[in-house]
């Protein structure tokens, strides 16, 4: 444990249930399993899964998502070099990151926005769920990541997706009230991706970095909500444990938008999913925040936070200062 930041471990012990703490910490020391998803834009799921098994891969299906599966970590390189991945029929993706699109449930014919889309894995998943019907817009601010995302989408058969290079915080001015559904996989301190054997994964972690992320997240969530039609839905998610970046962000949005938004129960559930925290460092969160869910890390899944929000009615543009 000493190879991870001591302050991080102290905070983690306050976030995860005490009986799950040691198991959670252990996941930072063990190589994770390989999560993957069949790209149904190009091929049928059962055909690929059967072919992988015949090729000697130890395919473990996922009960909550028929297109998903995982393999033992020692088969990672073989899968990455296989024709199924190289030809775009299989997309390697952690199982936890597949849950936000499933929670959003984008439907064929809808107008859908992925506000922080690179590298495009969740965008591809939503494109599959929408069956090429409707409008799907993928936004990325960083130029290099934008072009990699666009190439990724095209290679996997999602060339119909509209790609936009822009700062997501200000897109509400262009697209206010436009979308049926918005996915916001927010930039975060990425605590779930810490690896004990790789100090680079946590070298720049600090409570100051968390605070920096919070400012960005508040602005992005404000923009995402403003982009929704009345009745539209939004999923906010991160791959960090920090309550400041998770429950506190939702609490801030509830205070800012009042009865114009509501938190909904997630329509998908997995075994290692628990309710969001009710308080942090003496600060109680509004009761609706508890409807959000934390995914505890396991050998197959990294830690995640997922919250589903519905915009209940249109409101006039609020002041642009989000803090």
**Sequence ranges of the domains in the chain:** 21-32+95-311
Residue 36, exposed/middle/buried by CB under 10 A (0-12, 13-18, 19+)? Answer: buried
User: What is the band of 46 on the pLDDT scale with cuts at 50, 70, 90?
Assistant: confident
Distance CA 160, CA 137 (A): 9
Neighbours of 141 (CB within 10 A): 17
Clarify whether 237 is annotated catalytic.
no
Q: What is the arithmetic mean of pLDDT over 111-120?
A: 97
Q: What angle do CA 110, 116, 117 make, to 5 degrees?
A: 70
Among residues 188, 227, 237, 239, which one is catalytic? 239
- May I ask the CATH class of domain 21-32+95-311? alpha beta
| For residue 33, pLDDT beyond 90 | yes
pLDDT of residue 55: 96
Q: Out of 45-49, 78-82, 92-96, 168-172, which region has the weakest mean confidence (pLDDT)? A: 45-49
Strand partners, 80: none
**Nearest alpha carbon to residue 240 among 309, 163, 186:** 186
Distance CA 43, CA 29 (A): 35
Q: Is the Cβ–Cβ distance between 309 and 233 less than 8 Å?
A: yes
Q: Is the Cβ–Cβ distance between 195 and 201 less than 8 Å?
A: yes
| For residue 320, pLDDT beyond 70 | no
Residues of the chain by 3-state class (helix, strand, coil), percent to 5: 40, 25, 35
Rounded to 10°, the helix 207-226/247-257 angle is: 40
Q: What is the arithmetic mean of pLDDT over 235-250?
A: 98
pLDDT of residue 315: 62
| For residue 146, pLDDT beyond 50 | yes
Contacts of 288 (CB under 8 A, 6+ apart): 250, 254, 262, 263
Q: What is the average pLDDT score of the chain?
A: 95
């Amino acid at each position: 444990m000493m190879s991870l930041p001591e302050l991080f471990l102290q905070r983690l012990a306050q976030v995860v249930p005490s009986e799950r703490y040691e198991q959670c910490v252990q996941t930072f020391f063990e190589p994770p399993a390989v999560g993957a998803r069949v790209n149904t834009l190009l091929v049928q799921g059962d055909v690929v899964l059967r072919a992988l098994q015949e090729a000697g891969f130890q395919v473990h299906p996922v009960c909550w998502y028929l297109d998903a599966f995982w393999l033992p970590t020692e088969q990672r390189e073989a899968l990455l070099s296989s024709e199924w991945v190289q030809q775009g029929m299989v997309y390697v993706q952690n199982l936890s990151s597949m849950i936000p699109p499933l929670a959003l449930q984008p439907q064929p014919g809808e107008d859908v926005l992925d506000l922080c889309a690179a590298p495009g894995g969740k965008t591809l998943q939503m494109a599959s769920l929408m069956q090429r019907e409707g409008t799907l817009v993928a936004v990325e601010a960083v130029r290099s990541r934008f072009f990699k995302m666009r190439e990724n989408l095209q290679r996997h058969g999602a060339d119909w997706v509209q790609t936009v290079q822009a700062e997501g915080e200000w897109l509400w001015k262009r697209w206010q009230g436009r979308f049926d559904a918005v996915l916001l996989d927010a930039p975060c301190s990425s605590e779930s991706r810490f690896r004990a054997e790789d100090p680079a994964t946590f070298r720049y972690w600090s409570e100051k970095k968390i605070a920096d992320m919070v400012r960005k997240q508040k602005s992005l969530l404000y923009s995402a909500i403003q982009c929704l039609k009345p009745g539209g839905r939004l999923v906010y998610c991160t791959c960090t444990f920090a309550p400041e970046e998770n429950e506190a962000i939702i609490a801030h949005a509830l205070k800012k938008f009042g009865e114009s938004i509501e938190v909904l129960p997630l329509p998908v559930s997995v075994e290692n999913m628990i309710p969001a925290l009710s308080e942090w460092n003496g600060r109680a969160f509004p009761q609706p925040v508890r409807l959000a869910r934390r995914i505890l890390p396991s050998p197959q899944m990294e830690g995640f936070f997922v919250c589903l929000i519905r915009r209940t009615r249109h409101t006039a543009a609020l002041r642009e200062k989000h803090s």
